[in-house]
Amino acid sequence: MTPSSDTPDPYADPLVFGQRLQILRNRRGLTRDQLGGLLGRSASWVKGVESGRLKTPKLELILGIAEILRVRDLAELTGSQTVHVDLFAGPGHPRLPAVKAAVDAFPVSTPHEAPPTAHLRARLDRAWAARHKSPNHRDVVGALLPDLIRDAQTAVRQADRAGERRAAQAILSESYALCQFFVAYQPDAPLLWRVAERGLISAQESEDPRAIGVAAWLATQAHRDSGYAHFDAADAVNLATLAHLTPLLPDAPNQVLAIAGALTFEAGYTAARRGETGTAWRYWDQARAIAERLPADFYDPVTSFSRAIMGAHAVTVAVELHAGGESVRQAAAADAVTIPSRPRRARHRIEEARGYQLDGQPDAALATLDKAHEAAPETIKYNGYAKRIVLEEAESKIPARRRRASELAEKMGLLAA
């Protein structure tokens, strides 16, 4: 066999860092101006790195670039095949295959009778409650999902009357919503999109405003997390759903009011990702006004929307706007203890840690990540922002900080093969 007919070695003539950066930046739909602005650098600096005129930046900046470009494996950006670090895709959970099998199944027959929708509703409510209470919430939810999805699918197929079918579709849509929480940040993006799309279809078939809002809320996040080029798609789903719900709000029950509030905040979240300060805070103000219409003890089991969550949302907006000082001020004002959900409380701690890191307080950031790990280890294990902070501080020149970051890396499972 001649060399020309051999299968080429993809690493024989690898792309240099600058070339990889340019390809990934273009793939995400960012201009040099936009990327530079998000990094606190100029467009000419980005061009210099991409052209090779400037040397490869230090780890801190590489991790910042990876975060903005949503690079899943750091090797994709650096070109190094010796170290693979999944930033925005966590390790596959042991229960993922069983959940995937339930989602992918195409049951053309129904060998058993479906449970009543009231029974499915009670199981789904218990599953949400278990998710909020458990530090290892993915494991708990992953054990419940396969049977829940199969039974909800069967209930839809066996429904005889239109009202029963719509009620079963609402249950099925919310089952997919719970599934999307489980699948998120695991190494199977196509599965996540199948779940999101099926949730949207079931919600539309249900004609239930709450189900429609929840499915759109999750689809908005899926689009936004796909990168800058998908922000318009996120807004399209979000704002169309808000327009659909708005006429219902004057007399809406709390569950519908809450999903409208969650969607309103999501519009602000996307605006913050774009760097649109005024728009981001305007949507946050609107969401807070909706939260004030809810009872003081109300807490949405899917979105966590409530009065208690608005402080955490303020931290997120400030962090996404890369406003370090404002992030710390908002973190001081927010009370994480009032968030009843362990995974949501852990996520809030991670956002606080990002704020401290932006403000030049790495020790406070690491201490806050320790609190996140205490609240819900499976949340921090799958979070790319937490990984970035830990990896960055593991390179610190200060021994005590480096040691603390390394200990946290071990607890998070970053050292696992």
Q: Look up the domain containing 223 and give its range.
A: 208-307
Same domain, 100 and 35: no
Over pLDDT 90: what percentage of the chain? 63
pLDDT tens-digit series, residues 163-216? 999 999 999 999 999 999 999 888 888 999 999 999 999 999 999 999 999 999
139 lies in a domain? Answer: yes
The pLDDT tens digits of the residues spanning 245-273 come to 999 999 999 999 999 999 999 999 999 99
Considering the domain architecture, whether residues 186 and 212 belong to the same structural domain is answered as no
Query: Is residue 85 one of the residues assigned to a domain?
Result: no
Tell whether 111 and 193 lie within a shared domain: yes
| Structural domain ending residue among the three candidates 158, 178, 206 | 206
Say if residue 62 is in the same domain as residue 162: no
- Write out 275-316 in H/E/C secondary structure: CCHHHHHHHHHHHHHHHCCCCCCCCCCCCCCCCCCHHHHHHH
In a domain, 341, yes or no: yes
Instruction: Say if pTM beats, i.e. exceeds, 0.85.
Output: no
Question: Would 273 be classed as within a structural domain?
Answer: yes
- Among 12-16, 185-189, 286-290, 312-316, the minimum mean pLDDT is found in 12-16
Same domain, yes or no: 103 and 200? yes
In this structure, is residue 114 part of a structural domain? yes
Using the 3D structure, point to which of 206, 234, 259 is the last residue of a domain.
206
Query: Considering the domain boundaries, does residue 322 fall inside one?
Result: no
Amino acid at 398: I
Q: Are 153 and 175 in contact (CB under 8 A)?
A: no
How many C-beta atoms lie closer than 10 Å to residue 235's C-beta?
A: 18
65 and 140 assigned to the same domain: no
Domain end call among 78, 110, 125: 78
Digit-coded pLDDT (tens) for 53-109: 888 888 778 888 887 887 777 777 887 655 555 655 666 889 999 999 999 998 777
For 353-378, what is the mean pLDDT? Answer: 94
Residues 177 and 130 in one domain: yes
Please give the pLDDT value at position 417: 40
Cα 411 to Cα 26, 85, 377, 380: the distances in Å are: 35, 16, 8, 10
Q: Are residues 30 and 65 in the same domain?
A: yes
In a domain, 315, yes or no: no
Give the closest residue to 184 by CA, choosing from 169, 199, 171.
199
- Helices 384-393, 342-358: crossing angle, 10 deg rounding: 40
Tally of domains in the chain:
4
Same domain, 105 and 155: yes
In a domain, 3, yes or no: no
- Choice among 37-46, 59-68, 132-141, 261-270 with the minimum mean pLDDT: 59-68
Instruction: Tell me, yes or no, whether 398 and 361 share the same domain.
Output: yes
CATH code of the domain in which 26 resides:
1.10.260.40
* Residues 181, 220 within the same domain: no
The number of angstroms, rounded, from the C-alpha of 200 to the middle of its chain's C-alpha atoms is 18
